[in-house]
Amino acid sequence: MTAKKKTIGDAFGGQITTLDEQRAIWKDALHPDAIWEGPMFETPVQFIGAEACGHFFELLLSVVPRFSTALAGMYPTSEADTFIIESHGGGPTADGRTTYTQRYFSLITNKDGLAFRMREYCNPFQTYKAFGKEHWERSTGEIMRKYNKPWPASQKPDPITLPPVK
């Protein structure tokens, strides 16, 4: 019997998972050339490659271990593997100080049944409140420096890039 492949939804369903369980999910769910982008932060973030995306998701789950999302709407695009979702999500933070509450608009492309490109728009102030702005910027910067791969030939560069606000 073949085990069912995991999806990113398996990581973000509100269940606490171990680091090894998370990494098994990333291996199943992320295309090797996966990119996750958050262009709305004061310092925009781009995680390039499955390893960098996985470390970013691990950061998220280390701060919000029961993170989950609920779909509000899903909208097709002219490209069969690309869609837009509107969702909301969050969960209590690991330190018990607050609850992360967020609303997302995400442009998602799958390739070969795997998450390939995710561009997410959310309220950065909600993220800074839950993660601590300094911790967010230090941690995301470190992930990008240590784990980002060169831009893959399989991915079109974003035609619109914004400089950091700072």
Which has the closest alpha carbon to 81: 116, 30, 132, 42? 116
How confident is the model over 73-117, as pLDDT tens digits?
999 999 999 999 999 999 999 999 999 999 999 999 999 988 999
- Helix, strand, coil distribution of the chain in percent, nearest 5: 30, 35, 35
Which has more confidence, 72 or 16?
Answer: 72
pLDDT tens for 53-79 read 999 999 998 999 888 888 899 999 999
4-16: buried (b, 16+ CB within 10 Å) or exposed (e) per residue? eebbbebbbeeee
Distance (Å, whole) CA 61 – CA 65? 4
CATH topology (fold) of 8-147: Nuclear Transport Factor 2; Chain: A, (3.10.450)
